[in-house]
Structure 1
Amino acid sequence: MVKPLVAALALSALPSTLAFRNTSPFFLFSTAELPLNSVHTAVAQSARVSGQVTDSLKNCPSRTYFIVRQDGVASADYLDALSAPRLALYLGDQHPDVKSHMAVSEVVGSLDTKLISKFLESQCGADVVQVDGSLAEMLKPSARSKDSAPLIVELTFPAPTTSQRSVMLEKHDENLGNLIAGYADSRDYTVIYATTAPTEVQTESTFQTQPTYEMDDAFGNAVHMELKRDMTIHKRASSNDGGLFEKYQFFSPGLFMGLSATIPLFFILFIGLRAISSLEVSYFAFSKEMGPTAQKK
């Protein structure tokens, strides 16, 4: 439901303080087939938007015209579906009665809604009714006949505060939906939703309250601790005091085990060599006997 609205506000992905200054969005939707040149526009001058609106309404296509003015907002305020769910419904091709719509994400300059109201009043002979935006949900207008003159309903919403910005915009959106449901009994209406840019004070306060981006660390501090070199094992001596055997280690466990295995081997070798050297054999044992005794053997 919100995807067409987000597509219409393509440039509002950045905060309003970083994208454009002194710009605000504009929306228009109607139950009639209006000759709109462009459905979604990124940036446009206020004079061009006003001229396009008056050209599309010069034939008086509707019986009820809602001219809404929302002060102190930017296009980034309408990215969230919770801020203006009904407005997203009208602009997202989800409402069965809406046949044409228009959205401009950044309008340079202030759009004069009084000029559009006077144009419709003189062109269509419409009557003008001014409605308080905070009391729009409690209005119960009387029934109108088909032969009555067209009606222009002027509605102005105050600028939302910084702390409850989303809540106030949602409330304004609800009041607008109730107002349309109350006045547009014949399902023949056109809504002109103009906005004004936030002031410098509102812009600075909004920029200060925006959360700063912090990079997520999926591994925590464990990786950083493993990559650090452990210098505690190789601590250098703080001073040169002490003897030779206090500074250096000459008798390690490996050297001790080597000596423990070598000493028994030396004892075995010594005993073996001594046993061989103790053998006594006469020289006559290796001589050959040549007498009669040898012949008898």
Structure 2
Amino acid sequence: MELWIPITIAAAFCQNLRTALQKHLKGRLGTTGATFVRFGYGVPFAILYLVVLNQVFGYALPEPTLTLLVAGALGGLAQILATFLLIHLFSFRNFAVGTAYSKTEPIQAALFGFVVLGERISLTAGLCILIGITGVIVISLARVPLTVSAIRGNLVGRPALIGLASAALFGASAVAYRTASLSLEGTVVAMQAAYALVFATLFQTLVMAAWMALREPDQLRASLSAWRAAVWVGASGVAGSIGWFTAMTLQNVAYVRALAQIELVFTFLASWLVFKEVIVRSEIFGCVLIVAAVIGVVLLR
């Protein structure tokens, strides 16, 4: 099995855990505060990981590049906005279905990867990604009455548009991060990913802290007061990011993000076991389609 596959699955699990914790915090902090803790409390863990790679394993630190600075900053901004929109989406739909809207990311990541990096995907992989997107659509319509007006409202309404925008920003940030990581030379893949991760997370923390200090100081104070819960968001978020950055340094972003749809399986488990939400048959069918798409990407690409 190629290394990027288990790394991506582990990252998807950590991301699901982090999203669940953020949903819990949203009720206490609001959307901005819940977004900030993902980055602000993740910085120490990201730096610790970098130090361990350098001091314990002896991997050399790369020289920073202009591409790292530009791509890392753009990716950081895109991820902040994407995370904000995803958390805001929880206000409209339940946990499982709300997350599903953002799962159109793989096809958008494939487009960004082609435009920015010239990366192509096989026809088979493209079909598998479309199957996964179909699963997402099935899930998004699972609780909607089967009338023309209701379906149209669900597909083009505010929640759908927010989900699509979040997915586009996540796809753009993933390609930007791959660009930043690949620009670093003279070291191993793990260190490339860690270095890019530290820069992006630190940049995101500074940007959000400055914004909140000026525009939403109450949210900043609340985020600091909630450190006991927020630290777990930071830890799980960085654990997932380590996986994403490493996998996307090793493999085409579209393939990584397509495999990452396995997160939706973890989302259903979280919805059922943690949030006690009822899962309907259509959502299960959509999940089956997504799993089939994931298997296809891994075995048939």
Shorter chain as normaliser: what TM range?
under 0.3
TM-score by length of 2: 0.27
**Which has a greater percent of strand?**
1
TM-score by length of 1: 0.27
Larger radius of gyration: 1
**Which has a greater percent of helix?**
2
